[in-house]
A and B are shown apart, each in its own frame.
Chain A
Amino acid sequence: MFAKMHPKEYDIEWRKSRLAARLLIANSKRPLSPRRQALAGLLAQDKGVSNRLIKHALAGFYAERPHTISLD
């Protein structure tokens, strides 16, 4: 079994990608605030944030809360 890691222990690219995934999920519920929209823009420009990591982050969130987040 893997020891559960605290999110603060994740490396910076992974943390940013999780943040990006959270923004995408948040947008699925209600429009983002201007502050969060600006953050989305920053993350979209960040080379460390990749589609692959965002996909993995989404997979993690869906696995943690399969009943609270709907899948397409």
Chain B
Amino acid sequence: MPWLVFMPNAPTPSPWTSSWNPQVNLDSPAGRTIKELVQLVPTGTQITLFGSAPLQISFDPKFLSQDIDCFGPSDLKALVDSHGLSESSRKPYVQVCAALNFRTTPMWSTRAYSLPLDGRIIVIPHPIDILIAKLNRMEEKDLKAFKLVREKTGHPTEEEMIEELRAAVDLFRPGFDEEKANDMKTTTRILWREFFGHDIDVIEKIIRPALLLREEGYAPDNPRTDYKTELSRLATHQTSVGTPSYDG
């Protein structure tokens, strides 16, 4: 079966980024608001958190989170608005976003933690996915999130960060004209200088290896024979009878 190809250069995931099982503190400010939030939706509903709130409830109740970024069912925003949870006078208030706002690695949902809460499910993404989403902005507060996670877990290491950013290589593409997007290459260099203590060549260390790995995955699908040229030859009587070369 030619489409099942072993990719020798595919990275081995770090044990830390494979899964996680946080000790969730729902008595933190964000935790108390989350308990109110789940009461607004029917049982069985899934709400996904991102931003700083998951770090507050998982690592440090004192870690400041002005708002709780989340996404869930389509009527969640209306429910949150009608119950006053989105009022910015609340601390923290709830900001209902689209799943598209959580711009992180494609693997995030495979390693997120699902917390059952009063019959609803709170999805808490892995810290590495939350941190990578913060790289899109990388303000001072976002750098503090990196430092908090390293203080509590000893991760991410430089190798883990490089591996995860390679998996999220499409985040490095330039933004559309219509959107305000930060340059991830710049924010990544800022992270490396501030967090790992030295600069990084983003193209050489992250983008180019990721694109090579992707190309390797497509390689079995790329025909080595130019069948269309063979067809042209058939039309102009320039071919001899013989089995078509099939490189599958």
Q: Report which A residues bind B (CB closer than 8 A).
A: 20-21, 23-25, 27-32, 36-38, 40-41, 43-44, 49-52, 54-55, 58-59, 62, 69-72
CB distance from A72 to the nearest CB of B (A): 5
A49 touches B228 (CB 8 A): yes
B225 touches A55 (CB 8 A): yes
CA of A52 to CA of B222, assembled, Å: 6
B242 neighbours in A (Cβ, 8 Å): 27-28
CB distance from B165 to the nearest CB of A (A): 30
B235 touches A72 (CB 8 A): no
B243 touches A55 (CB 8 A): no
A41 touches B232 (CB 8 A): yes
B245 neighbours in A (Cβ, 8 Å): 72
B236 at the interface (CB under 8 A from A): yes
Q: Quick one: CB contact mask for B1-14 with A, threshold 8 Å, 1 for yes?
A: 01000000000000
Which listed residue, B226, B241, B246, touches A27 by the CB 8 Å rule? B241
Chain B interface size band reads 20 to 34
Which listed residue, A30, A31, A51, A62, touches B248 by the CB 8 Å rule? A62
Q: Mind listing 7 A-B residue pairs with CB under 8 Å?
A: A21-B227, A29-B241, A37-B236, A44-B229, A55-B223, A70-B243, A72-B246
Q: Quick one: CB contact mask for B60-96 with A, threshold 8 Å, 1 for yes?
A: 0000000000000000000000000000000000000
CB distance from B199 to the nearest CB of A (A): 40
CB distance from B196 to the nearest CB of A (A): 41
A51 touches B246 (CB 8 A): no
A50 neighbours in B (Cβ, 8 Å): 228
- Of chain B, the residue at the smallest CB distance from A59 is B248
CB distance from B152 to the nearest CB of A (A): 47
